[in-house]
Amino acid sequence: MNGDQHNTVRRFDHPGEGIRRAKPAPKGRQLDPKAMEEIETLLGDRSRQRDLLIEHLHLIQDAYHQISAAHLAALADAMRLSFAEVFETATFYAHFDVVKDGEPSIPPLTIRVCDSLTCALFGAEKLLHAVKAGAGPQVRVVRAPCVGRCDTAPVAEVGHSFVDHATPAAVLEAAESGHIHPDVPNYADYAAYVAKGGYKLLDRVRSGALPVETLLQALDGASLRGLGGAGFPTARKWRSVLGEPGPRLMAVNGDEGEPGTFKDRFYLESDPHRFLEGMLIGAHVVEASDVYIYLRDEYPASRIILEREIAKLPPGGPVIHLRRGAGAYICGEESSMLESLEGKRGLPRHKPPFPFQIGLFNRATLINNIETLFWVRDIVEKGPDWWTSHGRNDRKGLRSYSVSGRVKSPGVKLAPAGVTIRELIDEFCGGMADGHTLRAYLPGGASGGILPASMDDIPLDFGTLEKYGCFIGSAAVIVLSQEDDIKAAALNLMRFFEDESCGQCTPCRSGTQKAAELMEKADWSQDLLTELSQVMRDASICGLGQAASNPLMTVIKFFPEEFATRGAAQ
């Protein structure tokens, strides 16, 4: 400024003179004393460490059936976190009912009606509307994605109790009776498992009687691969983690949220210690000090079983942490699971680095699926030749197929790897349901594509389906008949991916939304949908967006009759 301008500036002889001061007032959200007392009572002597945020949110949700803004603020204060951190985490997960200031309270009981594909085939939409119409004011009725009980479709969850083969009357009766807690099925407990030789293999490994390399050679000889969907060779993964600098951790992926999949629940609810022994062997091999089991929230009975049985394990070995998911399909992706285990939103990480290098809490981490670990004991004790003696159509090993849809006997079917859909239906499922003929099938759950009945001779295993735009994934097989609308099935799956997209990347977030809008039209714009699908495949961060269009593209490719009457809109 020039001299004249400088002379016009007023000077103040005392600090603050001439400044108009507002009356002092506290900034930011104020803590509610009652909410603070309630949070302190809930937490008790539990640790306030950052990675327990989701566990503590579950405490609030379970106690109050919702999470108020006042409770969020009090929890943030107790854990020395910002309100924004706690709020963004709580609102990311579907099972946390966050009530903002000024919003009405949520009814004390929630009924969730599954509307994923298999339940949709068996009348989920009618069930949802009928239950809504019959429910009282103290009950909230909402849609829910797959709850992992596809073999008993349609399914409703009343509180934390499930109504299988649900009818409106049965669901409303359960709600009225107060039967809202899970039923725990009969299973082989610790004593029964030990009585049949359980944990002897673990003892041999820990004592050195069975060298680690010998064990790894057995897994190599069996060609055991990850059975959660990725199919990575198990022994190679264990060696890779062991080759990284310590200290190391282990994380178990029990978040099987793929529509049509329920095999992990089946094994946890029947023979949990076979999984636990495999887990402890893996932890010993990679010298993991701690093991984190991430179990989906839709499996409350499995969680009760694991809590009971882990407590019975003898002292020694790694520290086992059982962590609870909160209704986010994306957390089945391994890096999203790690973020959730750290108490954050389940946003996929960019790779590299890979989790075996920098994983949970920035430490080298072994990640395995529940079923993969379930088979470790049998393969090592019986030998790799026992495992490879099974198989069909030039494939080797066993697969646990979760079968649902239009078959007489749905459920988990332990069958030779490489079995075809016709063999699976006829030999293991009692044939097609009465009055139904095979029209189409999903070989690998929601993201595994849809194939016509004319392609019923393809071996169902790793590496056999990719050339058709499909994959086996976790072997979730959904069978469709002449009674089912193929395009409607594909739309149901796309809506699932739209709802479950974490929103981090535009190709997936916007792509699934736009694809669902286009698929709602009577005439599909095949060229536009194909172009959109390619963008999603090429540019999405993780497998959700990359595979979301598989059902769409296989319908376009293999079901030309769906487009013959009107022709595809261009």
The rounded distance, in Å, linking the Cα atoms of 441 and 449 is 9
Task: Count CB atoms within 10 A of the CB of residue 287.
Answer: 16
Q: What is the pLDDT of residue 10?
A: 43
Instruction: Kindly list the structural domains of the chain, giving each domain's residue range(s) and its CATH number in brackets, ordered by start.
Output: 33-99 (1.10.10), 109-177 (3.40.30.10), 190-382 (3.40.50.11540), 398-484 (3.10.20.600), 487-560 (1.20.1440.230)
The rounded distance, in Å, linking the Cα atoms of 262 and 404 is 10
Q: What is the pLDDT of residue 26?
A: 53
Tell me: pLDDT of 106 over 80. Answer: yes
**What are the pLDDT digits (tens) for 397-417?**
999 999 999 999 999 999 999
The rounded distance, in Å, linking the Cα atoms of 150 and 155 is 8
pTM, two decimal places? 0.93
Q: What is the pLDDT of residue 258?
A: 93
Lookup: tokens for 166:
């649900």
Lookup: tokens for 372:
């993969």
For residue 108, give the 3-state DSSP assignment.
Answer: coil
pLDDT class of 230 with cuts at 50, 70, 90? confident
pLDDT class of 22 with cuts at 50, 70, 90? low
**What are the pLDDT digits (tens) for 58-72?**
999 999 999 999 999
pLDDT class of 478 with cuts at 50, 70, 90? very high
What is the helix (H) or strand (E) element at residue 40, kind and residue range? helix 33-43
For residue 264, give the 3-state DSSP assignment.
Answer: helix
CB neighbour class for 517 (10 Å; exposed up to 12, middle 13-18, buried from 19):
exposed
**What are the pLDDT digits (tens) for 326-364?**
999 999 999 999 999 999 999 999 999 999 999 999 999
Mean pLDDT in the chain? 93
Look at strands 398-405 and 161-163 and give their pairing: unpaired
The rounded distance, in Å, linking the Cα atoms of 29 and 15 is 30
